[in-house]
Amino acid sequence: MAQTKEQLAAVEQDGHAIQFIENPSEEVQLAAVQENGHAIQYIENPSEEVQLAAVMKDLVAIEYIENPSTELQLTVVQKNGYAIQCIEIENPSEEVQLAAVQQNGYVIRYIENPSLEVQLAAVQQNGYAIKWIKNPSLEVQLAAVQENGHAIQFIENPNCSIATN
């Protein structure tokens, strides 16, 4: 019991101190990540609760979580779409991509080969997001300029039908 008190005192003062504790209890793990979300990098197989506490402290802590659950990914990108670039998965699911661009359309620049649905969601959130879409369809172009007419500056050879709609 005293050892846990000492461990708690250490991680409450500096979450990174957990790296020096062998087999920390979940209580100690939680205290560490609540003090510093990045402390999760020193925790082997953290529980979902510990993972959530870490990203709630610092969204970027998700980069230290191996195979984060879809729910955890959604929690992070719904708070800040830019956090999608910290998810250590080659290509997050379309659900996660949609949540990220709905929070901030600009983050489409960090998504490889976004689907039409993701592209549309991005430009509907911010028309300027079209700047980072390669060869946008007419539908995406139209959605972008409907959201923000100035987005036309990022469209190469605007189709005449965009200008007349």
**pLDDT one digit per residue (tens) for the chain, 165 residues:** 567 899 999 999 999 999 999 999 999 999 999 999 999 999 999 999 999 999 999 999 999 999 999 999 999 999 999 999 999 888 899 999 999 999 999 999 999 999 999 999 999 999 999 999 999 999 999 999 999 999 999 998 776 555 545
pLDDT for the residue 77: 96
pLDDT for the residue 3: 74
DSSP for residue 48: H
CA distance 68 to 61: 11
pTM of the entire predicted model: 0.86
pLDDT for the residue 104: 97
pLDDT for the residue 162: 53
Q: Which residue has the tokens 């946008």?
A: 136
pLDDT for the residue 24: 96
